[in-house]
């Protein structure tokens, strides 16, 4: 496993070959909770523009089509480009709403869009394309399988218990039919779409104690040096700056980490990126969210890991990004076509598409790779001495050709010793055994050298101790001898002085001087032999202390260079001698027992084939009969379903008719009761006021409007309860649309006949209509999409036309300025609603 750290600095950032501004669009409507999104399908882009629920599909010719979806804001936007065999679709998920966008490019370059919207059973966080006509939506507790043509949820796949979805992490593997989804805490899970269960014994944690922010399968890129039986997965965490390459072995249910790549900026180690992968899985792009640059990771051609990393200057920090690969020609008349990488980002001011320089995008790997485990790692000085200007990190000459490119473990060992390259047909087991035996001999030799060094140090210590004792003993003897000489000289001097002082005095001084000189020369001075012995011992100890390591290393190198290579060559020669002669096979095939065995095997194979054919014919007949019966049952079930649907539809119509009849009966009975005993206006107002105090405004207005008396209506609206609750009373959430229209009609009915009440009626009409204007315009917009809303809007137009005619009949010259302004405002709003289609 390789661990690579890539630090981006200003000097490493390269300028792009071209930067094209697609559109200038503000991002003021987007917040932290509702961020802008961008997806690509080849050279087709899908994005949300100013409004959070309006999606734009843009092609490379600049033609676009805007579509508004039901969701208030889009949380995830993906395309079907990475799934083979899928049509061109975009999936938008927001809240519990799902939108499936199918763009079509016309012959003239225009874009038309067909939209399928549906309501999900739970809030959706992300989506991915599955098999044909299927997509999977990630929810909080389940993965929902949705039909593409209708948007209906077909089934649900439960997630691991205690799962908390924090990031839009979901992907689908076509060959293995597996879903990569979040699990509890910081884990991920692999769920089979066939069994609807997890294929892992326990959930998988790709990043220790960190929630993965991105994960996807690599299922289209062919890595020739990989086994092909593993599932390749790329995960990212910590703001997408830590990327890991994983290989999952389904037999052992184990994940192997191939490589870890850590990205950072020189001044900001905790940089955050927006990640995107091309459809051919050649490139992984990471656009910085705080600085104007992008990091492009080129995957290895034969191994599942990163090969080259480059940094490119962008137009600004990326709010969102996407990556695609497309054809580019040098000119309109040129026939040469090249495939270029396109990075599309959204900044604070708009959308920009950048194309890195392909000549600098491609190249040799610029990632530091750890050297292989060989003998060269044991002796760095030897490897450095054998590696020159024309060699790479393995010690192989740069022009070695194919032999140098395909180095086996045994070749690596030989190269690390003498720089020679030899090919061998030996198995890895035999080579490992040889290297293991040589390593064991190496360890034994090291032990012997270490024991010799220890014994040498002990003997040197003993010798030094003996020398020190001998020196002390010699010094003691010299001191005693000097004392004896001095004492004898003093005695002789005294004796001679006593015998003849005059004659002996001149000769005494030289004798004493000679004695003192001999004593000074003998005190503390070693003999020539002792001095030579001490110097030789001291030099020997210094050589042992200073050159023991170098001597041991040189001895081991010489031993290995002599013995290991000879042992390997001897083993290779012995392995070559074990080849079976070619004529042995011919003699073996001529044996009678072998021929009899082959004859029996061929007869058995023939009988097995005949029996298999009989079983196939029998099973084919059974399957055909079962298929016919199944088709008949399906047809009957479909007919029964149609019958049930028609019966249910007719039942609903009958129930609706019964409800209408009951309401008419109730209304007629109520009218009859009121006609039998009509209450007084004060009683009606009092009853309506009581209902208003109980917050039953609909009932209060129904009571007032049922009297068809404008004086009662004005008295109720001028009541103290209505004036205190005017904001609640005029809100569209308080009254129904029929009550509002009836109120407007009664306020404008025969208005010129009551000149004194005209200002009050205009004031009340203005208060109500100004609050209802936005809601009425919403009905008009929805009427363009929904037939039921269109019928409601027709009723609104008919009733408001009557109100408009009544307003036009009011003589404006008799009104004061305030009343004229109120009348003009209501007249203008109604006219705009009715005329601005």
- CATH number for the domain harbouring residue 340: 2.130.10.10
Beta strands 124-129; 111-119: pairing state: unpaired
Q: Decide if 632 is inside a domain.
A: no
Last residue within a domain, chosen from 346, 361, 376: 361
Alpha-carbon gap, residue 43 to 355, rounded angstroms:
13
Question: Same domain for 125 and 229?
Answer: yes
CA angle 585, 591, 593 (to 5 degrees): 125
Question: Same domain for 233 and 335?
Answer: yes
Q: What average pLDDT does the chain have? A: 80
Higher pLDDT, 199 or 709: 199
Listed range (76-85, 173-182, 400-409, 560-569) with the worst mean pLDDT? 400-409
441 by Cβ neighbours in 10 Å (0-12 / 13-18 / 19+) ranks as: middle
Q: Decide if 226 is inside a domain.
A: yes
- 585 pLDDT above the threshold of 50: no
- Three-class secondary structure of residue 2 per DSSP: strand
The answer to whether the beta carbons of residues 779 and 796 sit under 8 Å apart is: yes
Strand partners, 136: 128, 145
Q: Decide if 611 is inside a domain.
A: no
Last residue within a domain, chosen from 317, 341, 361: 361
Question: Same domain for 715 and 803?
Answer: yes
Strand partners, 189: 181
Quickly list H helices, 500-527.
501-522
Higher pLDDT, 303 or 269: 303
The residue-averaged pLDDT of 812-822 equals 83
The answer to whether the beta carbons of residues 206 and 244 sit under 8 Å apart is: yes
pLDDT at 379: 45
Q: What is the Cα 131 distance to its own chain's centre? A: 22
Supply the DSSP string of 227-265, one letter for each residue. Answer: -SSEEEEEEEETTTTEEEEEEEETTTTEEEEEEEEEEEE
CA angle 55, 61, 65 (to 5 degrees): 25
Q: What is the pLDDT of residues 451-465, one digit of tens each?
A: 888 888 788 878 877
Q: What is the pLDDT of residues 146-188, one digit of tens each?
A: 999 889 999 999 999 999 899 999 999 999 999 999 999 999 9
pLDDT at 525: 56
- Three-class secondary structure of residue 344 per DSSP: strand
Percent pLDDT > 70 in the chain is: 81
- Three-class secondary structure of residue 318 per DSSP: coil
Listed range (37-41, 208-212, 320-324, 621-625) with the worst mean pLDDT? 621-625
Sign of CA dihedral 330, 331, 332, 336: negative
- Three-class secondary structure of residue 815 per DSSP: coil
In the numeric block, the tokens 């992907």 are attached to 171
Q: Global pTM? A: 0.48
- 672 pLDDT above the threshold of 90: no
Q: Decide if 390 is inside a domain.
A: no
Alpha-carbon gap, residue 86 to 102, rounded angstroms:
12
Q: CB under 8 Å to 496, separation ≥6 — which residues?
A: 504, 508
H or E, element range at 322: strand 320-329
* Residue among 801, 735, 791, 792 at smallest CA distance from 768: 735
H or E, element range at 320: strand 320-329
Alpha-carbon gap, residue 745 to 737, rounded angstroms:
12
pLDDT at 673: 67
Listed range (72-81, 318-327, 796-805) with the worst mean pLDDT? 796-805
Q: Domain count for the chain, please give it.
A: 3
Task: Give the number of other Cβ atoms within 10 Å of residue 293's Cβ.
Answer: 23
Q: How confident is the model at residue 123 (pLDDT cuts 50, 70, 90)?
A: very high
Q: How confident is the model at residue 139 (pLDDT cuts 50, 70, 90)?
A: very high
The residue-averaged pLDDT of 374-381 equals 44
pLDDT at 516: 44
* Residue among 92, 105, 100 at smallest CA distance from 51: 92
Which residues form the domain of 771? 676-835
Q: Decide if 496 is inside a domain.
A: yes
Q: How confident is the model at residue 623 (pLDDT cuts 50, 70, 90)?
A: confident
Alpha-carbon gap, residue 396 to 406, rounded angstroms:
11
Q: Compute and round to an integer the Cα radius of gyration of the chain.
A: 49
Backbone φ and ψ for 184, nearest 5 degrees, come out as: -65, 150
Listed range (331-335, 738-742, 792-796) with the worst mean pLDDT? 331-335
Q: How confident is the model at residue 583 (pLDDT cuts 50, 70, 90)?
A: very low
Question: Same domain for 275 and 134?
Answer: yes
pLDDT at 181: 96
The residue-averaged pLDDT of 567-593 equals 56
DSSP letter for 137, please.
Answer: E
Q: How many residues does the chain have?
A: 837
**Tokens read off for 495:** 């004796």
Q: Decide if 119 is inside a domain.
A: yes
Q: Decide if 799 is inside a domain.
A: yes
Question: Same domain for 246 and 111?
Answer: yes
pLDDT at 255: 93
Alpha-carbon gap, residue 716 to 723, rounded angstroms:
10
Question: Same domain for 204 and 74?
Answer: yes
Question: Same domain for 85 and 231?
Answer: yes
Q: Please give, one letter per residue, the 3-state secondary structure of 289-309.
A: CCCCEEEEEEECCCCCCEEEE
- 646 pLDDT above the threshold of 50: yes
Last residue within a domain, chosen from 576, 608, 627: 576
Supply the DSSP string of 545-563, one letter for each residue. Answer: HHHHHHHHHHHHHHHHHHH
Pick the most confident of 90-104, 419-433, 599-613, 685-699.
Answer: 90-104
CA angle 463, 467, 471 (to 5 degrees): 175
283 by Cβ neighbours in 10 Å (0-12 / 13-18 / 19+) ranks as: buried
pLDDT at 126: 95
The residue-averaged pLDDT of 615-630 equals 85
pLDDT at 519: 43
pLDDT at 409: 41
* Residue among 533, 519, 536 at smallest CA distance from 470: 533
Beta sheet of 18-24, edge-to-edge order? 18-24, 350-355, 337-346, 320-329
The answer to whether the beta carbons of residues 354 and 314 sit under 8 Å apart is: yes
HSE-CB at 835 with a 13 A cutoff on CA atoms is 7
Pick the most confident of 17-26, 399-408, 467-476, 576-585.
Answer: 17-26
Question: Same domain for 112 and 232?
Answer: yes
pLDDT at 549: 59
The answer to whether the beta carbons of residues 141 and 162 sit under 8 Å apart is: no
Alpha-carbon gap, residue 394 to 416, rounded angstroms:
8
H or E, element range at 136: strand 134-139
- Three-class secondary structure of residue 373 per DSSP: coil
Question: Same domain for 355 and 444?
Answer: no
Q: Decide if 395 is inside a domain.
A: no
Q: How confident is the model at residue 195 (pLDDT cuts 50, 70, 90)?
A: very high
Question: Same domain for 9 and 118?
Answer: yes
- 523 pLDDT above the threshold of 50: no
- Three-class secondary structure of residue 721 per DSSP: helix
DSSP letter for 790, please.
Answer: H
């Amino acid at each position: 496993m390789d661990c690579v750290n890539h630090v981006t600095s200003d000097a490493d950032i390269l300028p792009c070959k071209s930067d094209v501004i697609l559109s200038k669009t503000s991002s003021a409507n987007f917040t932290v909770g509702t961020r802008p999104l961008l997806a690509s399908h080849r050279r087709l882009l899908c994005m949300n523009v100013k409004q959070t629920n309006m999606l734009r599909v843009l092609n490379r010719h600049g033609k676009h089509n805007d579509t508004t979806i039901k969701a208030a804001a889009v949380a995830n936007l993906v395309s079907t480009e990475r799934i083979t065999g899928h049509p061109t679709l975009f999936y938008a998920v927001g809240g519990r709403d799902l939108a499936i966008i199918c763009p079509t490019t016309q012959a003239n370059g225009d874009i038309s869009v067909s939209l399928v919207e549906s309501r999900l059973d739970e809030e959706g966080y992300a989506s991915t394309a599955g098999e044909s006509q299927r997509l999977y939506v990630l929810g909080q507790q389940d993965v929902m399988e949705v039909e593409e043509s209708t948007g209906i949820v077909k089934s649900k796949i439960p997630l691991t218990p205690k799962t908390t979805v924090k990031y839009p992490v979901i992907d689908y593997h076509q060959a293995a039919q597996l879903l990569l989804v979040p699990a509890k805490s910081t884990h991920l899970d692999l769920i089979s779409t066939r069994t609807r269960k997890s294929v892992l014994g326990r959930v998988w944690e790709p990043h220790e104690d960190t929630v993965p922010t991105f994960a996807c399968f690599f299922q289209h890129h062919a890595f020739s040096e990989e086994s092909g039986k593993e599932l390749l997965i790329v995960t990212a965490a910590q703001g997408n700056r830590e990327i890991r390459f994983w290989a999952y072995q389904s037999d052992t249910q184990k994940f192997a980490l191939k490589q870890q790549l850590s990205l950072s900026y020189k001044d900001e180690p905790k940089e955050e990126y927006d990640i995107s992968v091309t459809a051919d899985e050649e490139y992984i792009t990471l656009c910085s969210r705080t600085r104007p640059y992008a990091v492009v990771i080129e995957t290895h051609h034969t191994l599942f890991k990163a090969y080259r990393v480059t940094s490119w200057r962008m137009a600004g920090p990326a709010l969102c990004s996407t990556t695609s690969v497309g054809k580019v020609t040098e000119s309109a008349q040129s026939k040469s076509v090249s495939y270029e990488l396109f990075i599309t980002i959204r900044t604070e001011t708009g959308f920009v598409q950048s194309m890195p320089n392909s000549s600098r995008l491609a190249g040799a790997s610029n990632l530091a790779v750890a050297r292989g485990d060989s003998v060269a790692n044991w002796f760095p000085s030897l490897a450095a001495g054998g590696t020159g200007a024309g060699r790479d990190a393995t010690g192989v000459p740069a022009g070695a050709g194919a032999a140098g490119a395909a180095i086996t473990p045994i070749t690596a060992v030989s190269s690390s010793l003498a720089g020679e390259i030899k090919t061998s047909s030996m198995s890895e087991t035999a080579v490992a055994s040889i290297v293991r035996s040589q390593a064991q001999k190496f360890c034994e030799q090291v032990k012997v050298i270490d024991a010799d060094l220890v014994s040498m140090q002990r003997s040197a210590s003993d010798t030094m101790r003996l020398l020190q004792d001998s020196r002390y003993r010699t010094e003691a003897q010299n001191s005693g001898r000097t004392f004896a000489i001095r004492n004898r000289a003093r005695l002789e001097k005294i004796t001679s002085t006593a015998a003849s002082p005059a004659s002996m005095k001149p000769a005494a001084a030289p004798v004493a001087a000679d004695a003192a000189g001999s004593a000074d020369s003998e005190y503390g001075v070693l003999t020539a032999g002792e001095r030579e012995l001490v110097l030789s011992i001291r030099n020997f100890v210094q050589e042992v202390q200073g050159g023991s390591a170098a001597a041991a290393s040189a001895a081991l190198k010489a031993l290995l260079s002599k013995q290991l290579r000879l042992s390997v060559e001897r083993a290779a020669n012995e392995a070559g001698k074990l080849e079976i002669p070619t004529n042995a096979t011919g003699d073996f095939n001529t044996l009678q027992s072998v021929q009899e065995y082959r004859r029996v095997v061929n007869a058995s194979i023939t009988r097995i084939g005949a029996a298999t054919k009989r079983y196939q014919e029998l099973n084919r007949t059974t399957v055909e009969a079962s298929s016919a019966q199944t088709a008949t049952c399906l047809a009957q079930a479909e007919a029964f379903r149609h019958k049930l649907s028609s019966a249910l539809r007719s039942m609903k119509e009958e129930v609706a008719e019964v409800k209408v009849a009951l309401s008419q009966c109730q209304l007629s009975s109520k009218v009859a009761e009121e006609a039998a005993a009509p209450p007084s206006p004060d009683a009606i107002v009092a009853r309506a006021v009581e209902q208003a105090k109980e917050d039953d405004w609909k009932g209060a207005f129904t009571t007032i409007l049922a009297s068809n008396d404008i004086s009662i209506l004005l008295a109720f609206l001028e009541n103290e309860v209505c004036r205190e609750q005017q904001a609640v009373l005029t809100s569209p959430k308080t009254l129904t649309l029929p009550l509002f229209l009836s109120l407007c009609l009664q306020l404008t009915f025969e208005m010129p006949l009551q000149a004194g009440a005209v200002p009050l009626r205009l004031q009340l009409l203005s208060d109500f209509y100004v609050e209802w204007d936005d809601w009425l315009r919403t009905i008009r917009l929805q009427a363009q999409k929904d037939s039921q809303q269109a019928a409601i809007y027709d009723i609104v137009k008919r009733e408001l036309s009557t109100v408009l005619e009544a307003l036009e009949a009011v003589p404006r010259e008799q009104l004061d300025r305030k009343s004229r302004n109120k009348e003009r405002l209501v007249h203008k709003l109604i006219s705009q609603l009715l005329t601005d289609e």
